[in-house]
Amino acid sequence: MAGALGNCASQGGQKDRWTIVLPISPAARAGRGAAEGPTADEDGPNPLERLIQIVRSNDYLLDELGRLRDRLACARAYLTQPGCNLVLGRANLDWLRAKRAGLLAQLRANRLEACQLLNLPDQALPGPGRSDRYA
């Protein structure tokens, strides 16, 4: 069974699988604790600073998607093995798919926020299915 799963068992150096990526609160973006809240003389972070935060967030989310792709492949490979625990394997696969959907939703939210910061319609930025390089 180990040969068919390849490098699936050797992924121990990764982040804890229960790590959850939460959105950044406006107070945290401004460098304050959530208890302090925004002040009257401050509108929030500079739009350029926020764009940098979005780019960094996207880099992290895309890295997570890459690791998740490998874990999904391992889960699918496990389910093809004779004598595997189908209930456990399918539950793991469902959990990984839900996590992938959450990461994609965060990437979409970042895209919409970037469009708002740049005062562009959503269709102005190239993305999946919107790129002109294959036309």
Per-residue pLDDT reduced to its tens digit, 21-77: 555 555 555 555 444 444 444 566 788 899 999 999 999 999 999 999 999 999 999
Compute the distance between CA of residue 83 and CA of residue 102 in angstroms, rounded to an integer: 31
CA angle 105, 109, 115 (to 5 degrees): 145
Asked whether residue 66 is domain-assigned, the answer is yes
Asked whether residue 131 is domain-assigned, the answer is no
Q: Are 68 and 100 in contact (CB under 8 A)?
A: yes
Higher pLDDT, 13 or 96: 96
- With a pLDDT cut of 90, the percent of the chain lying above it is 48
Asked whether residue 14 is domain-assigned, the answer is no
Q: What pLDDT, on the 0 to 100 scale, is given for residue 120?
A: 81
Q: What is the pLDDT of residues 13-23, one digit of tens each?
A: 455 444 455 55
Compute the distance between CA of residue 31 and CA of residue 54 in angstroms, rounded to an integer: 16
**What's the predicted TM-score (pTM) here?**
0.62
Q: What pLDDT, on the 0 to 100 scale, is given for residue 35?
A: 47
Domain hosting 111: range is: 45-118
Q: What pLDDT, on the 0 to 100 scale, is given for residue 1?
A: 47
Asked whether residue 9 is domain-assigned, the answer is no
Neighbours of 85 (CB within 10 A): 12
Give me 132's structure tokens: 């002109």
Q: What is the count of structural domains for the chain?
A: 1
To which residue do tokens 């890459």 refer? 66
